[in-house]
Chains A and B, each alone.
Chain A
Amino acid sequence: MLQYIVKRLLGLAPTLFIVGVLVFMFVHLLPGDPARLAAGPDATPETVALVRQDLGLDRPLPEQFVRFVTGTVQGNFGKSLRTKRPVSTEIADRFMPTFWLTVTSMAWSVVFGMTIGILSAVWRNQWPDRLGMTLAVSGISFPAFALGMVLMQAFSVQLGWLPTVGADTWRHYILPSLTLGAAVAAIMARFTRSSFVDILGDDYIRTARAKGLAESVVVFKHGLRNALIPVVTMMGLQFGFLLGGSIVVEVVFNWPGLGRLLVDAVDMRDYPVIQALVLLFSLEFILINLIVDVLYGLINPTIRYR
């Protein structure tokens, strides 16, 4: 198993290199001159030339690429073209708020979604199922920005219970994580339900029941474990997406996260920030996939790694 993890980690380097090359090419293909954008709306050509020099954009593209690669290898992503702060600081400042928001959203939505999913599967086509799936469908179809604004209007403006914007205390996390987790909870519920329904019809479940085991043991010990495999896969994917920062939620709640940073960076053609963020997102996805694969083995010991 350890050998497997090491092997996978070694495979990281070439993947990230390819991603790096692609993202470097793509950002430089975007229309629009970052020096012109950074110089501002009423800048003269001399100023633009000065800004271009300042940002190192007057160098030939291969040279910029070599600089990017050597810098990245040493962990130096350069400075943001927009704020002139080191890219690593820009990202570090925003990583934790996004990370904790992702964790809190995932935590409640996984618990809530799986509970609904299990209930719906066990009482399939009865009222708990109908209620649960209605909730799930509403969760998927209700747009996040509308949900966020409704929650804010109700709990912050009208009732005054919770703060509106910012990420300072745990109370700031409640509304954004509710907003962000709603869709995930809905997806988890539907996934758990369908996977559970399949499993509950399997032979070994019938055997377990025939042995005279309590229904709760059948459901949780024999059913849940086996139903978890596809659910965990989905969980990993969702986690990865949320870690990229949700633009909508971050804008509505003024969340100091990575999603907004990426939007700002693309707007201003802030090459170093875009490149570093894309690399970070790819890395996150690869790591999460690895963790998911390891989890498979823990859930179902019959799965072997080579």
Chain B
Amino acid sequence: MKPQLRTLALGVLSLAALTAGPAQAAKDVVLAVASTFTTTDPYDANDTLSQAMAKSFYEGLYGFDKDMKLIPVLAESHDVSKDGLVYTIKLKKGIRFHDGTDFKADAVKANFDRVTNPDNKLKRYALYSNIAKTEVVDDYTARITLKTPFSAFINNLAHPSGVIISPTALKQYGNKDIAFHPVGTGPFTFVEWKATDYLKVAKFDGYWKKGYPKVDTITWKPVIDSNSRAAVMQTGEAQFTYPVPYEMADVLKAKPELDVVAAPSIIVRYLSMNTQQKPFDNPKVRQAINYAINKDAIAKVAFGGYATPADAVVPEGVEYSVKTGVWPYDVAKAKQLLAEAGYPNGFETELWSAYNHTIAQKVTQVLQQQLQQVGIKTKITLLEAGQRVEKVESWQDPATAPVRLYYVGWSSSTGEADWALRPLLYGESWPPKLFNTAYFKSERVDADIKNALLTTDKTEKAKLYKDAQETIYKEAPWAPLVFEKLLSANNRKLSGVHTMPDGSFNFTEVDLK
């Protein structure tokens, strides 16, 4: 063999060795994502990405489809008692875990007993701490009793953390080690997790939905740098990537084999104003700031057009969201309101951002410029994660809280208005408890939010949330800025992978041509 030929042959061999495995002619999908996974245990995960990935091998009683609509998954149906305390859940039959265990009510009990036990110290404890007890009625019926009525409970079950782990595996590996040996009912079984490189899952032959999954393996590959993520899409090393940086969108669009998709999201970006401090204690000042901000400009300049001006406090797509309209951009009106409030020449204040990435930098700069137009001078600080925790999220005494104008974002991971309003605008959610960084307190809004949780009647709930959102709009503790769009790219050969409105993924229909 000539030397060149030999190297060529070697190269081919090593390539073959790379792609070899049980599924030779197989459909292997590679998804390039933006950061490494923290855990495979959804009950101990707080990042959307790890939870999205865990949907490869785990399923919950309920779940969301790609448009964030609530659907039963392992559950067949449920009944709620009149007092809103007891949920009786019928389970689907004939479902098996990857380890061969039958899926029955004891699995439901094992999982909720685990998360509600504070000794297990799971990060999602709070989401389920309202559960008083879980009982097995018969093999395919489970009964969950709550401590207090909580009408969004089924949404909590549908939350990506609320999965059913095999009780046998839980017993075998224990509370901590289960994260390295995930065993669920999902379409794929866990193969390997190389923390620095990738996480691989393979088709589960005994999956209960016949004909699924349609591909043989999925490799979740974290690629941190956004330019490199664009590069692996262009070379074909990955078939899907999210997020695509706005400035790379056109480059990828130009490639005939790639599609770039901008999907709507429930991620709201807003500016909160500390309503306990002067001058933001005056509603006129807060309204003036709303009038002074050109949301279109922010969407165009900072988000490259991949965002829409916020026309509500709770984004469309979250259950019970109400459109209150985009606050009009009107500098004259803003100045007039400031004058009425006693600040004809404006004032000086702090403008903080919860993030220090380039988009946040652009947003705050645009905000600074626009506020300048009405005489409000701002000093920008982009907080690094540790500083944010120190100065905002863990600040103990509300009276001395240094936060004034604060640029931040939120997405309601339960897809329901309660988690979009209560952590952010409820009177008892001031930091350090939750994230009411506006230190907003309105008796009317508090009553609405509280009562909505107590009622199981949907029309009554809708009415209460509508009233809450309209009151918030008028009181203006925030200047809602934009709803983000989620920019992803996929190879035309790949179908069925979608970004969900909360930034998670749906890949039940994943297929490769």
Residue of B nearest to A50 (CB): B121
Are A160 and B235 neighbours in the complex by a CB distance under 8 Å?
A: yes
A303 to B54, CA, bound (A): 61
Q: Is A164's beta carbon under 8 Å from chain B?
A: yes
Q: Which residues of B contact A54 (CB under 8 A)?
A: 121
Q: Which residues of B contact A169 (CB under 8 A)?
A: 14, 18
Q: Is A287's beta carbon under 8 Å from chain B?
A: no
In the assembled complex, how far is the CB of residue B256 from the closest CB belonging to chain A, in whole angstroms? 15
In the assembled complex, how far is the CB of residue B332 from the closest CB belonging to chain A, in whole angstroms? 38
Are B228 and A40 neighbours in the complex by a CB distance under 8 Å?
A: no
Chain B, residues 209-231, CB within 8 Å of chain A (1/0): the string is 00000000000001111011001
Picked from A30, A40, A51, A164, the residue with its CB within 8 Å of the CB of B235 is A164
Are A44 and B126 neighbours in the complex by a CB distance under 8 Å?
A: yes
Residue of A nearest to B176 (CB): A84
If A50-B125, A84-B179 touch, does A31 touch B386 (CB 8 Å cutoff)?
A: yes
Are A45 and B385 neighbours in the complex by a CB distance under 8 Å?
A: no
Q: Is A215's beta carbon under 8 Å from chain B?
A: no
- Find the residue from B14, B124, B237, B385 having the highest chain A CB count within 10 A: B385
Picked from A42, A164, A254, A269, the residue with its CB within 8 Å of the CB of B423 is A42
Q: Is B390's beta carbon under 8 Å from chain A?
A: yes
- Give the residues from 422 to 467 in chain B that come closer than 8 angstroms, CB to CB, to chain A: 423, 432-435
Q: Is B197's beta carbon under 8 Å from chain A?
A: yes
Residues of B whose CB lies within 8 Å of any CB of A are: 14, 18, 36, 38-39, 46-47, 118, 121-126, 129, 176, 179, 194-197, 222-225, 227-228, 231-232, 234-235, 237, 384-391, 393-394, 413, 419, 423, 432-435
Are B122 and A50 neighbours in the complex by a CB distance under 8 Å?
A: yes
If A84-B39, A254-B223 touch, does A152 touch B435 (CB 8 Å cutoff)?
A: no
Are B196 and A44 neighbours in the complex by a CB distance under 8 Å?
A: no
Are A51 and B123 neighbours in the complex by a CB distance under 8 Å?
A: yes
In the assembled complex, how far is the CB of residue B419 from the closest CB belonging to chain A, in whole angstroms? 8
If A41-B46, A43-B123, A153-B231 touch, does A269 touch B386 (CB 8 Å cutoff)?
A: yes
A94 to B194, CA, bound (A): 11
A169 to B13, CA, bound (A): 12
- Give the residues from 31 to 51 in chain A that come closer than 8 angstroms, CB to CB, to chain B: 31-33, 36-47, 50-51
Q: Which segment, of A16-24, A112-120, A181-189, A260-268, faces chain B?
A: A260-268
Residue of B nearest to A160 (CB): B235
If A33-B390, A254-B224 touch, does A157 touch B125 (CB 8 Å cutoff)?
A: no
Are A39 and B123 neighbours in the complex by a CB distance under 8 Å?
A: yes
Q: Which residues of B contact A260 (CB under 8 A)?
A: 224
A268 to B423, CA, bound (A): 23
Residues of A whose CB lies within 8 Å of any CB of B are: 30-33, 36-47, 50-51, 53-54, 82-85, 90, 93-94, 97, 149, 152-153, 156-157, 160, 163-169, 251-254, 256, 260, 264, 267-269
In the assembled complex, how far is the CB of residue B449 from the closest CB belonging to chain A, in whole angstroms? 16
Are B46 and A157 neighbours in the complex by a CB distance under 8 Å?
A: no
Q: Which residues of A contact B234 (CB under 8 A)?
A: 157
If A83-B195, A252-B225 touch, does A44 touch B433 (CB 8 Å cutoff)?
A: yes
Are B225 and A251 neighbours in the complex by a CB distance under 8 Å?
A: yes
Residue of B nearest to A31 (CB): B390
Q: Which residues of A contact B231 (CB under 8 A)?
A: 152-153, 156-157, 164-165
Query: Can you list the 9 inter-chain pairs with the closest CB atoms, starting with the nearest?
Result: A40-B46, A32-B386, A256-B196, A54-B121, A44-B126, A31-B390, A36-B389, A50-B121, A47-B126
Are B121 and A83 neighbours in the complex by a CB distance under 8 Å?
A: no
Picked from A90, A254, A268, the residue with its CB within 8 Å of the CB of B385 is A268
Q: Which residues of A contact B38 (CB under 8 A)?
A: 82-83
A239 to B197, CA, bound (A): 25
Picked from A32, A44, A167, A264, the residue with its CB within 8 Å of the CB of B36 is A264
In the assembled complex, how far is the CB of residue B228 from the closest CB belonging to chain A, in whole angstroms? 5
In the assembled complex, how far is the CB of residue B126 from the closest CB belonging to chain A, in whole angstroms? 4
Q: Which residues of A contact B14 (CB under 8 A)?
A: 169
Q: Which residues of A contact B18 (CB under 8 A)?
A: 168-169
Q: Which residues of A contact B391 (CB under 8 A)?
A: 31
Are B228 and A254 neighbours in the complex by a CB distance under 8 Å?
A: yes
In the assembled complex, how far is the CB of residue A159 from the closest CB belonging to chain B, in whole angstroms? 10
Are B121 and A51 neighbours in the complex by a CB distance under 8 Å?
A: yes
Are B394 and A33 neighbours in the complex by a CB distance under 8 Å?
A: yes
A264 to B419, CA, bound (A): 29
Picked from B125, B386, B390, B419, the residue with its CB within 8 Å of the CB of A46 is B125
In the assembled complex, how far is the CB of residue A149 from the closest CB belonging to chain B, in whole angstroms? 6
11 additional contacts (CB under 8 A) given A36-B394, A41-B46, A267-B386: A32-B384, A37-B386, A39-B46, A40-B47, A43-B46, A46-B126, A50-B118, A51-B123, A54-B121, A166-B197, A251-B224
